[in-house]
């Protein structure tokens, strides 16, 4: 038996870097959390790993896997810190990045801004070539002309080159030739060709995605290579895996070649945790809510399955306006991001109203109460002053919070300018961020055909359990679930994610008259490519392939994804595919059009290995009396009573299976704090999950007294 029995999950967030160490033999879990180091994220990675050795001496040589999620890629795009990138495209298509889909995200705003392309116009060059939409070459590529434009870009000092030619998804020969020329002229220059990155129809999306991949590829490659060296320097010889935006994990080699696929690396993991818990407990509709120090992410999980969408946006000029960002067309978990975290900054807007977020204090300097130089009031400062956080037990006491500094900051920057009482300012910050999240959540749930009145909310993140009860009340959700170690939910999600890789090929052809033998060969090629990508992870097991097709009515502008059977396409009858499309379309839109012909657009494959699932440990039988878990009482603010009332404080580590109690209560663990309102009841299951039922609010009127400050 191998002595490598440990796996480590490491999630780098905007404020904290989270670590989860699991022993696969015993199921024992160890947690660590430290502040992120934005200048060099690997500093925090090394620090956290070494800190864990104090809790688990000698575990480093026994590490089998390190699974990593990072915000490096998305941050480099937002902050425009990627490589100097050039673009080679077909003559006449130099400006496709500006033209986009020729749609305005704010049609009535004449001053609407659009994101600047990652490649400026002077670094975009054209080659003389033309391929028809069916792959037939109309104008062969002039190799001398291609060599000329490559040299032109090199003379301009580009570090990375993106190649995206018209209709190359059907015939990539010209792109392969240009890649060969680049390798001859400048072997050290990073290259991304669209047929490798996204061999899919739609010229703007393909160009934007290829350019983004090229823009972040050198930085990502250097970071991952440096991280491997750094891990080796402290004795870590485990296999390193990276979380994909689509919910799988992959090798460092694949992540380095296609960094555009790990843009949503970190946020995805908490949702994968939620999916695992939803299947484990048979929850039909779950709203996964992950609120950290910088942002809050959420996702509606229906029938135990996380939705995956084919496109998303990054670097939006208007953060919550669709169409104002850079379009990326890669599979990504259907997340909704809200500019709300513990570090979200509160300020007085130009209209003289209270505004919270989307700007964040991040890890450096952080909220005022961290005592690291922050001067802007944040949600965490308000939560502390409301009595929800214990200044002496933040991160288990590792960080002593400065209550007085937080009080001064909110009094001077919020209460005084707005001319309101101090308690109105403090509660206003907390309640406004809850309302912001609830409004976004209602929209997200409605778009997916869900019902918040039937959903179970599962809370993750350091700030998620603090705000989850308030969010549930605003949504009218009947139940709240808080897993053990919720503060590091993303890092836990790494252990429930499969080793997987998604592939797509565009081939536009009508269903009637389609060559199904050719389509089967196309699927076979993708499955072979997926198997090669999985082989790089070094893991064994039978590969499972999932096939689907994007179809639409002929003349329609958008596609519907249809899952198809795994048997050979050469044996499938066209009417079976048509029936499957009609059922899927009718389920989405209420009806179908059986008389209208349909066509194939994209063929998709997901290759996945069996998951190494997280084994949940049952609670130890060390405690049996609720009084043993009570740490005491402290006054915390109750919105319904408009006053500070006593909240019973529980030590989560001393709660036992079957324990039941009612709010108002505060449940503390090292990485997070759970706030239970007085109209809620808590039950603890055998794995330590907190099941919180939201009861009908009582008509209670108490005299207001908000002078505790």
| Residue appearing with tokens 């109209």 | 679
Q: How far apart are CA 409 and CA 77, in angstroms?
A: 32
Q: How far apart are CA 538 and CA 550, in angstroms?
A: 31
Predicted pLDDT of residue 568? 78
Structural domain spans, the chain: 6-76+222-259, 82-218, 265-340+433-496, 344-430, 500-608, 626-694
pLDDT-derived band at 699, boundaries 50, 70, 90: very low
H or E, element range at 205: helix 203-233
Counting Cα atoms < 13 Å in the Cβ hemisphere of 336 gives 23
Predicted pLDDT of residue 339? 65
Q: How far apart are CA 190 and CA 179, in angstroms?
A: 10
Task: Please state, rounded to an integer, the average pLDDT across all residues of the chain.
Answer: 88
Q: How far apart are CA 444 and CA 313, in angstroms?
A: 16
Check whether domain 500-608 has CATH 1.10.287, yes or no: no
3-state DSSP call for residue 6?
A: strand
Burial of 359 (0-12, 13-18, 19+ CB in 10 A): middle
Q: What does the angle CA 157 – CA 163 – CA 168 come to, to the nearest 5 degrees? A: 170
CATH among 3.40.50, 2.40.160, 3.30.1560, 3.30.70 for 82-218: 3.40.50
Q: What is the pLDDT of residues 212-268, one digit of tens each?
A: 999 999 999 999 998 999 999 999 999 899 988 888 888 899 999 999 999 887 778
Percent of the chain at pLDDT exceeding 90: 52
Predicted pLDDT of residue 486? 83
pLDDT for residue 159 is more than 90: yes
Question: What is the mean predicted confidence (pLDDT) over 277-288?
Answer: 89
Q: How far apart are CA 64 and CA 537, in angstroms?
A: 12
CA distances to 96, 117, 180, 193, 326 from 210, rounded to whole Å, are: 13, 12, 17, 7, 12
| Residue appearing with tokens 């915390």 | 636
Predicted pLDDT of residue 698? 36
Closest CA to 196 of 225, 166, 162, 223: 162
CA distances to 79, 247, 538, 542, 608 from 531, rounded to whole Å, are: 35, 17, 11, 10, 9
Q: What is the pLDDT of residues 625-671, one digit of tens each?
A: 899 999 999 999 998 889 999 999 999 999 999 999 998 999 999 88
Predicted pLDDT of residue 648? 96
Tell which wins on pLDDT, 697 or 2.
Answer: 2
Q: What is the pLDDT of residues 507-539, one digit of tens each?
A: 999 999 899 999 999 999 999 999 988 888 776
pLDDT-derived band at 320, boundaries 50, 70, 90: low
Question: What is the mean predicted confidence (pLDDT) over 446-460?
Answer: 88
Tell which wins on pLDDT, 70 or 522.
Answer: 522
Q: What is the pLDDT of residues 335-388, one digit of tens each?
A: 877 767 888 899 998 889 999 877 778 767 889 999 888 899 999 999 999 999
pLDDT-derived band at 402, boundaries 50, 70, 90: very high
Whether residue 274 contacts residue 288, with contact meaning beta carbons closer than 8 Å, is answered with: yes
Whether residue 192 contacts residue 250, with contact meaning beta carbons closer than 8 Å, is answered with: no
User: What is the side-by-side strand order in the sheet with 160-164?
Assistant: 124-127, 85-90, 160-164, 190-193
pLDDT for residue 416 is more than 80: yes
Q: How far apart are CA 430 and CA 229, in angstroms?
A: 43
| Residue appearing with tokens 């502008």 | 557
**3-state secondary structure string across 335-346:** CEEECCCCCEEE
Q: How far apart are CA 545 and CA 569, in angstroms?
A: 14
| Residue appearing with tokens 């009218």 | 476
Closest CA to 466 of 433, 444, 421, 424: 433
Q: Of the given ranges (164-168, 554-558, 600-604, 664-668), which has the lowest mean pLDDT?
A: 554-558
pTM over 0.85: no
Residues 460, 466, 472, 478, CA torsion sign: positive
The beta-carbon contacts of 610-615 under 8 Å, at least 24 apart in sequence, are: 610/498, 610/541, 610/542, 610/544, 611/496, 611/497, 611/498, 612/7, 612/24, 612/495, 613/276, 613/495, 613/496, 614/22, 614/276, 614/492, 614/495, 614/496, 615/24, 615/27
Q: How far apart are CA 31 and CA 202, in angstroms?
A: 45
Domains 6-76+222-259 and 265-340+433-496 share a fold: yes
CATH class of this structure's domain 6-76+222-259: alpha beta
Predicted pLDDT of residue 348? 92
Q: At what angle do helices 422-447 and 464-475 cross, to 10 degrees?
A: 70
CATH among 3.30.420.40, 1.10.240.10, 3.40.50.720, 3.40.980.10 for 265-340+433-496: 3.30.420.40
Q: What is the pLDDT of residues 113-135, one digit of tens each?
A: 888 999 999 999 999 999 999 89
Whether residue 193 contacts residue 176, with contact meaning beta carbons closer than 8 Å, is answered with: yes
Q: Of the given ranges (203-217, 324-338, 413-427), which has the lowest mean pLDDT?
A: 324-338
């Amino acid at each position: 038996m191998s002595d490598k029995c440990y796996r480590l999950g490491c999630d780098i967030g905007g404020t904290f870097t989270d670590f989860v160490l699991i022993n696969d033999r015993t199921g024992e879990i160890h947690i660590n959390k430290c502040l992120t180091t934005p200048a060099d994220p690997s500093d925090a990675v090394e620090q956290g790993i070494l800190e864990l050795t104090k809790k688990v001496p000698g575990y480093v040589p026994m590490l089998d896997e390190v699974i990593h999620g990072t915000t490096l890629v998305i941050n480099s795009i937002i902050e425009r810190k990627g490589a100097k990138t050039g673009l080679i495209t077909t003559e006449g298509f130099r400006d496709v990045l500006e033209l986009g889909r020729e749609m305005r995200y704010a049609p009535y705003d004449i001053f609407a801004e659009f994101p600047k392309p990652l490649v400026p116009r002077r670094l975009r060059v054209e080659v003389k070539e033309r391929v028809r939409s069916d792959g037939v070459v109309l104008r062969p590529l002039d190799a001398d002309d291609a060599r000329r434009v490559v040299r032109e870009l090199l003379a301009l000092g580009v570090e990375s080159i993106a190649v995206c030619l018209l209709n190359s998804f059907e015939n990539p020969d010209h792109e392969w030739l240009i890649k060969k020329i680049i390798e001859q002229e400048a072997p050290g220059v990073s290259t991304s060709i669209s047929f490798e990155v996204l061999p899919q129809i739609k010229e703007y999306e393909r160009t934007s995605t290829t350019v983004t991949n090229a823009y972040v590829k050198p930085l990502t490659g250097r970071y991952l290579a440096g991280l491997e060296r750094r891990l080796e320097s402290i004795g870590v010889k485990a296999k390193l895996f990276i979380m994909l935006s689509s919910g799988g994990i992959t090798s460092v080699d694949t992540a380095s070649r296609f960094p555009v696929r790990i843009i949503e690396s970190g946020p995805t993991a908490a949702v994968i945790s939620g999916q695992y818990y939803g299947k484990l407990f048979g929850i039909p509709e779950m709203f996964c809510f992950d609120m950290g120090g910088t942002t809050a992410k959420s996702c509606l999980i229906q029938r135990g399955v996380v939705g995956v969408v084919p496109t998303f946006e990054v670097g939006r000029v208007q953060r919550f306006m669709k169409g104002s960002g850079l379009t990326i067309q890669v599979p990504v978990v259907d997340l909704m991001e809200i500019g709300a975290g513990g570090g979200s900054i509160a300020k007085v807007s130009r209209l003289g109203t209270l505004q919270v977020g989307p700007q964040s204090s991040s890890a450096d300097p952080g909220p005022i109460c961290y005592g690291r130089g922050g001067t802007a009031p944040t949600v965490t400062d308000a939560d502390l002053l409301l009595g929800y956080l214990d200044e002496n037990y933040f991160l288990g006491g590792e960080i002593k919070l400065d209550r007085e500094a937080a009080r001064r900051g909110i009094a001077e920057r919020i209460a005084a300018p707005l001319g309101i009482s101090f308690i109105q300012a403090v509660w206003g910050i907390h309640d406004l961020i809850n309302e912001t999240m609830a409004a976004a959540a209602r929209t997200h749930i409605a778009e997916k055909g869900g019902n918040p009145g039937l959903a179970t909310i599962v809370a993750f993140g350091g700030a998620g359990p603090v705000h989850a009860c308030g969010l549930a009340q605003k949504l009218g959700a009947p139940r709240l679930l808080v897993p053990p170690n919720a503060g590091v939910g993303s890092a836990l999600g790494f252990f429930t994610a499969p080793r997987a890789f998604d592939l797509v090929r565009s081939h536009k052809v009508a269903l009637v008259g389609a060559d199904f033998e050719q389509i089967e060969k196309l699927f076979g090629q993708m499955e072979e490519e997926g198997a090669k990508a999985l082989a790089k992870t070094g893991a064994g097991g039978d590969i499972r392939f999932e096939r689907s097709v994007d179809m639409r009515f002929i003349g329609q502008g958008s596609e519907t994804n249809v899952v198809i059977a795994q048997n050979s396409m050469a044996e499938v009858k066209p009417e079976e595919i048509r029936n499957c499309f009609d059922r899927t379309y009718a389920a989405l839109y209420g009806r179908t059009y059986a008389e209208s012909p349909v066509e194939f657009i994209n063929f998709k494959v997901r290759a996945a290995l069996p998951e190494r699932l997280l084994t949940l440990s049952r609670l130890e039988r060390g405690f049996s009396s609720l009084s043993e878990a009570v740490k005491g009482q402290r006054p915390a603010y109750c919105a319904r009573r408009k006053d500070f009332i006593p909240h019973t404080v529980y030590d989560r580590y001393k709660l036992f299976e079957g324990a039941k109690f009612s709010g108002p209560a505060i449940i503390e663990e090292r990485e997070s704090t759970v706030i239970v309102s007085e109209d809620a009841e808590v039950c603890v299951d055998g794995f330590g999950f907190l099941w919180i039922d939201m009861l009908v609010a009582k008509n209670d009127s108490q005299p207001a007294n908000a002078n505790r400050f």
